[in-house]
């Protein structure tokens, strides 16, 4: 049991104990855990304050004694045979210390309880059944009852005349436990009676001891040998039975109900703790819409003076800034989580709680709040800039980007010791994402002479020095160092999605694909009729108009069954499709289209033997296999998130193993 507080400060006393009971005794029913919780609250003297939020030590929500009792109760509520307490009375008043030791003493029935304690009062010292005294270097200088310890060192004082004050106990000569330390550390004096000092390993002057730790160890070993000889019976002891061969410990089968209970509890605790942190929650939820409104308002500009989406100049910039916001929020939300939870992790690692449960629960909890932030940003930003029909797609891409930030933030949190250091590292991680994301500095304008990375990129090509390779290269190809930047993949996916998955272009591409499939094999009258319908739909979509944006959207939905072949094309349904608003003005942004068009020209250049993998290209080709841009980019982002979480699990496991040793 750790000396420092190892509970969640955002939860109440009852909630901390409730979650501890579910984690330590998952086999118990919910009713049994509630009964156990109520009994422990009464035993700890915390029943009246069960609904009080624990808070941090600075807020003084609970007294020092109440915090210590809660810290003890988290392990008491479980079922163990051995308990180890590390200085449970440090920092407490004498009365609180006595109360804490009484609670610990009540646990000792049919169990082993070991407590490390320094300079206890006489009353606390006498409450222990046995004491183990260790001198410097872990040398054992006494083991036995507290009264025997006092008597033993009192006799040593009488024998060697150390000059320590004994007290007034008629049986052993003292009632002060501090007397033992006075005897052990009796200073060495010169002929004039002054204490002799020596330099320790840290270069500090300390009093020289009259007798070394080895002396006290040897003295106790001799004392124990004499005591053993006195207790030897004159009668020959009967031969005992032969020792039983040790049995091999079999691995217990996994109890899936218990595992599910533990995981559910860890997840619920993480989610509840995040909700209870009201100040952080308000900032977390409030910052996203504020940034969306600010960015959207500043970037609401068109070259022709009157704003419309088609001629909006800063749509690519807005999409990139949205991804930066998602990455930033993911990083800041998670950069201090593990720092705060590290004492709890250490405590629960000792009871064999799976570390993967913690990693998964943290990822799900932070992902939930990241999703809310992304939805709010897209909802407000797209409304301000009139980006229509892209809500769910933009939210999904922003969410995956935010999860990259969450995973990276958790790794940062696992590597540093305090929140301030984590906050200082966040800009160091975010700035490369901005610089090498492909928006601030175009890849064709970026320095490609990157030494080893550039050479490796050429070496990775099939024939790096051939004329064919030089023809295949394009200025729109992404430098190798930028391939490791998550923003590069999400920004490419966002731009391509805006260009090809908007309500108008998506239907045009579907109709075009259907025409390409039907044209070579339109043999039957039904196929020829459907082909004619698709041609009419494609012509209609190219110049679709309407009196309002809602009417244009309604006309777009009417062509869906025609494209799917479920309905014939009826021109009468679109006889009123006239007005000042065109579908191109509502859904197609010229700046975004220019980026895609340039990438297509580079990728489809007939002078190149192979299609290069260019930025914003609709197709990626690796090892002779063609991938769609959405499939490949999403796969890269998800794999990178998974790799970061695996690295996080490995780091935490190594750290906890070192701490345990």
Let me know whether 151 and 216 are in one domain: yes
* One domain, residues 59 and 152: no
Token representation of residue 302: 């068109």
Q: State the pLDDT at residue 251.
A: 52
Residue 297 CA to residue 312 CA, distance in Å, equals 12
Residue 611 located in a structural domain:
no
3-state secondary structure of 83: strand
Domain boundary among 204, 226, 248: 226
From 495, 452, 506, select the one nearest 600 (Cα to Cα): 495
Contact 417, 341 (CB under 8 A): no
Q: Quick one: 205 and 293 in the same domain?
A: no
The residue to which tokens 């065109």 are assigned: 582
pLDDT in tens, 612-647: 888 888 888 888 788 889 999 999 999 999 999 999
Task: Assign 372 a pLDDT band (cuts: 50, 70, 90).
Answer: very high
pLDDT at position 175, please?
A: 63
| Top-confidence residue, 166 or 409 | 409
DSSP 538-560: HHHHHT-EESSHHHHHHHHHHTH
Do 533 and 407 fall within a single domain? no
**Does 620 fall in a domain?**
no
Whether 281 and 420 map to the same domain: the answer is: yes
User: Does some domain include residue 135?
Assistant: yes
Q: Which residue blocks in 54-134 are alpha helix, DSSP H?
A: 64-76, 94-106, 122-127
- Same domain for 277 and 204, yes or no, is no
Question: 581-582 and 545-546 as β-strands: parallel, antiparallel, unpaired?
Answer: antiparallel
CA distances from 483 to 113, 426, 486, 536, 633 (A): 56, 20, 8, 43, 11
Characterize 404-436 residue by residue with b for buried, 16 or more Cβ atoms within 10 angstroms of its Cβ, and e for exposed: bbbbbbbbbbbebeeeeebeebbeebbeebbeb
Specify burial of residue 383 (Cβ count, 10 A radius: 0-12, 13-18, 19+): middle
The pLDDT, as a whole number, for residue 302 is 77
Q: Is 87 left (phi over 0), alpha (psi -120 to 50) or beta?
A: left
Q: Report in angstroms the alpha-carbon separations of 283 from 287, 289, 333, 596.
A: 6, 11, 10, 37
187 DSSP β-pair partners: 209
Same domain, 276 and 190: no
Final residue of a structural domain among 587, 608, 626: 587
Task: Find all residues with CB under 8 Å of 303, minimum gap 6, and list them.
Answer: 311, 313
Is the residue at 452 inside a domain?
Answer: no
Q: Please, what is the angle between helix 391-415 and helix 337-349, to 10°?
A: 60
| pLDDT 10s digits, 396-452 | 999 999 999 999 999 999 999 888 999 999 999 999 999 999 898 888 888 766 544
Output the CA torsion sign for 651, 654, 660, 661. Answer: negative
Distance CA 533, CA 515 (A): 10
Residue 125: inside a domain: no
312 and 395 both lie in a single domain = yes
Q: How many other C-beta atoms can be found within 10 angstroms of the C-beta atom of residue 443? A: 18
In a domain, 379, yes or no: yes
Same-domain check for residues 541 and 430: no
78-114 pLDDT per residue, tens: 777 788 888 888 877 888 888 888 888 887 777 888 8
Let me know: does 584 contact 546? Beta carbons within 8 Å: no
Residue 235 has pLDDT above 80, yes or no: no
pLDDT per position as a tens digit, 546-572? 899 999 999 999 999 999 988 898 888
Element (H, E) at 634: helix 629-660
Of 231 and 12, the one with more pLDDT: 12
- Residue 660 pLDDT exceeds 50: no
What number is the average pLDDT over the span 522-532? 85
The verdict on 292 and 439 lying in the same domain is yes
Contact residues for 592 (Cβ-Cβ < 8 A; gap 6+): 315, 316, 495, 498, 499
Mean pLDDT check: name the lowest of 8-22, 168-182, 259-273, 479-493.
Answer: 168-182
Q: Is residue 34 part of a domain?
A: yes
For the chain, report the end-to-end CA distance as a whole number of angstroms.
14
Maximal CA-CA distance, the chain: 124
- Report residue 430 as tokens: 């975010």
Q: Which domain holds residue 508?
A: 503-587
Q: What is the pLDDT of residues 49-74, one digit of tens each?
A: 888 888 877 776 788 788 888 888 88
Q: Is residue 601 part of a domain?
A: no
| Alpha-carbon dihedral sign for residues 333, 338, 341, 344 | positive
Domain end call among 91, 117, 143: 117
Helices (H) and strands (E) in the chain, counts: 25, 10
Q: What is the mean pLDDT of residues 297-319?
A: 89
Number of domains in the chain: 4
Say whether pLDDT at 337 is over 70: yes
Please, how many CA atoms are within 13 Å of residue 175, restricted to the half-sphere of its CB? 7
Interaxial angle between packed helices 30-44 and 64-76, expressed in degrees from 0 to 180 and rounded to the nearest 10: 150
**What is the crossing angle of helices 486-500 and 503-518, to 10°?**
70
Mean predicted confidence (pLDDT) in 522-544: 88
The reply to whether 288 and 419 lie within a common domain is yes
Instruction: DSSP for 260-275, please give it.
Output: HHHHHHHHHHHHHHHH
Based on the fold, state whether residues 279 and 409 are members of the same structural domain. Answer: yes
């Amino acid at each position: 049991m750790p000396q420092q507080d190892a509970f969640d400060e955002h939860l109440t006393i009852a909630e901390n104990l409730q979650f501890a009971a579910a984690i330590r005794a998952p086999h118990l029913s919910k009713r049994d855990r509630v009964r156990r919780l109520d009994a422990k609250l009464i035993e700890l003297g915390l029943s009246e304050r069960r609904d009080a939020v624990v808070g941090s030590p600075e807020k003084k929500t609970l007294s020092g004694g109440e915090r210590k009792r809660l810290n003890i109760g988290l392990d008491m509520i479980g079922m163990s045979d051995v308990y180890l307490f590390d200085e449970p009375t440090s920092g407490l008043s004498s009365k609180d210390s006595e109360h804490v030791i009484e609670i610990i003493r009540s646990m000792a029935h049919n169990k082993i309880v070991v407590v490390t304690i320094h300079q206890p009062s006489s009353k606390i010292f006498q409450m222990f059944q046995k004491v183990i005294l260790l001198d410097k270097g872990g040398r054992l200088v006494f083991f036995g009852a507290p009264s025997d310890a006092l008597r033993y060192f009192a006799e040593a004082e009488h024998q060697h005349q150390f000059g320590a004050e004994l007290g007034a106990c008629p049986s052993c000569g003292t009632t002060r436990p501090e007397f033992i330390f006075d005897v052990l550390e009796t200073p060495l004096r010169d002929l004039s009676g002054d204490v002799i000092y020596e330099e320790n390993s840290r270069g500090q002057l300390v009093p020289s001891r009259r007798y070394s730790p080895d002396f006290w160890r040897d003295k106790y070993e001799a004392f124990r040998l004499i005591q053993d000889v006195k207790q030897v019976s004159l009668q020959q002891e009967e031969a005992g039975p032969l020792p039983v061969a040790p049995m091999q410990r079999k691995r217990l089968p996994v109890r899936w109900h218990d595992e599910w209970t533990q995981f559910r509890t860890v997840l619920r605790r993480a989610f509840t703790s995040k909700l209870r942190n009201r100040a952080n929650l308000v900032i977390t939820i409030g910052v996203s819409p504020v940034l969306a409104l600010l960015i959207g308002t500043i970037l609401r500009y068109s070259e022709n003076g009157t704003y419309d989406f088609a001629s909006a100049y800063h749509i690519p910039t807005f999409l990139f800034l949205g991804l930066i916001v998602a990455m930033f929020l993911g990083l800041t939300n998670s950069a201090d989580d593990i720092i705060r939870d590290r004492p709890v992790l250490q405590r629960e690692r000792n009871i064999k709680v799976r570390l993967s449960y913690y990693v998964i629960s943290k990822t799900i909890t932070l992902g939930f709040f990241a999703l809310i932030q992304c939805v709010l940003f897209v909802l407000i930003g797209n409304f301000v800039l009139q980006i229509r029909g892209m809500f769910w797609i933009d939210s999904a891409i922003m969410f995956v980007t935010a999860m990259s930030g969450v995973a990276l933030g958790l790794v940062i949190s696992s590597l540093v010791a305090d929140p301030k250091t984590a906050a200082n590292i966040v800009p160091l991680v975010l700035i490369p994402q901005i610089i090498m994301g492909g928006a601030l500095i175009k890849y064709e304008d970026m320095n490609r002479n990157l030494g080893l990375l550039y050479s490796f990129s050429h070496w990775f090509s099939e024939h790096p020095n051939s004329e064919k390779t030089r023809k295949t290269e394009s200025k729109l190809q992404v430098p190798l160092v930028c391939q490791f930047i998550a923003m590069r993949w999400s920004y490419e996916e966002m731009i391509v999605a805006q260009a090809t998955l908007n309500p108008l272009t998506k239907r045009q591409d579907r109709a075009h694909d259907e025409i390409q499939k039907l044209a070579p094999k339109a043999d039957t009258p039904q196929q020829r009729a459907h082909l004619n319908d698709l041609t009419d739909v494609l012509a209609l979509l190219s110049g679709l108009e309407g009196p309002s944006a809602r009417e244009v959207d309604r006309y777009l939905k009417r062509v869906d069954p025609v494209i799917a072949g479920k309905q014939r094309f009826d021109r009468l349904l679109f006889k009123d499709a006239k007005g000042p608003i065109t579908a191109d003005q509502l859904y197609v942004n010229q700046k975004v289209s220019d980026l895609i068009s340039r990438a297509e020209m580079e990728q489809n250049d007939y002078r190149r033997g192979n299609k290069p993998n260019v930025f914003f290209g609709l197709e990626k080709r690796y090892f002779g296999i063609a991938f769609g841009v959405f499939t490949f980019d999403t796969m890269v982002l998800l794999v990178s998130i998974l790799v970061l979480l695996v690295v996080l699990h490995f780091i935490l496991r190594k750290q906890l193993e070192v701490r345990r040793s």
